[in-house]
Structure 1
């Protein structure tokens, strides 16, 4: 039998039993539903944004809580009421991994704010106060950001951390208008009594995320990569408002930690290093029941990484442009691990092409847990080159003849 939990004017359905937050949810059900806001008060508030949360949560401009996410809102215009952004939390990776097809959840409201004159935003909240089902053991909270200006709206995903580090950086996101999403005046459909749920339709989609690569000029210089369990990898998500074969687009990124170590063997082959990820296929719906009929105001399909499975492998890669080179290197082993430089990133590093028709990005920070090695067998014959700066701080690195 599925539990039914109600809060913030929404409903969560799940086969899981969450006694740990029963008291919290019971208290939230006692909140009186706000009266439907007029279009003049809340023009064009997206149907997937909770009016109850907007009224209950403090505006980030008046909050002293830590900044949990920042970024820019290009393409939006202030039509007199400001450009607004709202953050809600997805369940934690452990929660998502426990779900089975047919299980549903509601996103937990986190924060809201407005763009400044330059189009930037900062959202503030205490992530430690987020219910445990929405927060990982290391303080990670996965956010869905929705921005709107009364006429346009858009959304993206990003992971936030209660204690950001170089390995788990502060959440920075760009939210752009999406022509497939239409804002509607709140009063036009009694939004205050609307229900929004996200349902897992299916899972088990195994796809590889590239976390680095190495390229050598011959079969003498060799390379390898080590990855440890604590390292976080940022994986792209995908979303579609029509569930067709051409409407899919990048939907932001979600960070996942593996819980396992991967040591790739030393080799002179040109290789990409990959970790296997499992994705879930989800459907979001927002609807209201009036006179016995359900009116669906918002539907979205998405692929979201659930977990890194523990599988890892390599694939062939080609030489890429890397103009920033060292001088001739001495014999020995060189490694890239300094987090202060650029993270490894590739716009098509996470392959979802066999699922939705395009590839999205993957990002992995270089540090003591994620380290790339190049071994020079003799002195004076080889050098290393970076794609966007010199190898000690570059994102991508290749070997070459000196």
Structure 2
């Protein structure tokens, strides 16, 4: 029985089929389908749905306005063979996150594609850029717009857009868009259909403006997503750089931060901030070898709204780019400079250890001392340095390509 029931288990990441539909023929074209990276927030940590064979959960969106088609298909259901076993409510889980107004009929959805010509990007245009498409043999134009809830129809559009977060950000949650401190930045592609100019949704970023006493704000990036069909093309860097430049023009902005940034976001931020800072006078090649300075920190903050911690990483990347690492003396000087920063947490632990000596029992003191073993510290420090070096080199290679 257990073996037979196991046949009715489906991997929900495989079962969920997502599309951005431009043309009616895209609906049946498997080449336009993409799948989630995560589905645990709806279907549990094992990301499995029980009760179906050949399960397919279709979530198709029109490319621009994200008008939604939602259908559940399967070849057989467990109740058709076993009376006493109930299948999971896979449809109900999806209905929890997609807003009302979706279609369940393919023909109705295809007829709605004709209205895509009426869709125009929300908000104000703040940046335009082009990327060469090798397959099409032409440059594709993209636009970045800043929007807010005053834009007619944006609230409903955003509700559809944010459903993608559940599939591609591991700890995603929906935001309270009624708070007027939110800023929204949207990326669109311009494309032609029968001689008509249309727009496709590429990705977006949400930024919350925190108050900083007495008269400043601190924009904090909350969510950022480039949709899978557009990933790896440089849109994330274009979006983040555009957002930075947008806030740099405001004297009210203290600095720009991010909420719980992922590893990929940190890499992207490093690339963008280095690109922005490399032309600042305080980061010139002749000054990099004098060490990280207050001039660097203050110029990065004043001109680009970059905080001191991020400015320090920028300095280390630019200094590595300027350093001849085949020269043993220069390489050693660079290594010591980076390790000096990495050693900060260990120095803090040592200060805390000194304070503990006055209040801990001998056996507790021994336990803490073992955690601060000098040899272990050296090994961890070297491992941390090598990891940082590899990250920095990848950024420098990307800068060279750019």
Higher fraction of helix: 2
Pair in the same fold by TM > 0.5: no
Which one scores higher on RCO, CA 8 angstroms, separation ≥ 6? 1
| TM-score normalized by the length of structure 1 | 0.27
| TM-score normalized by the length of structure 2 | 0.27
Higher fraction of strand: 1
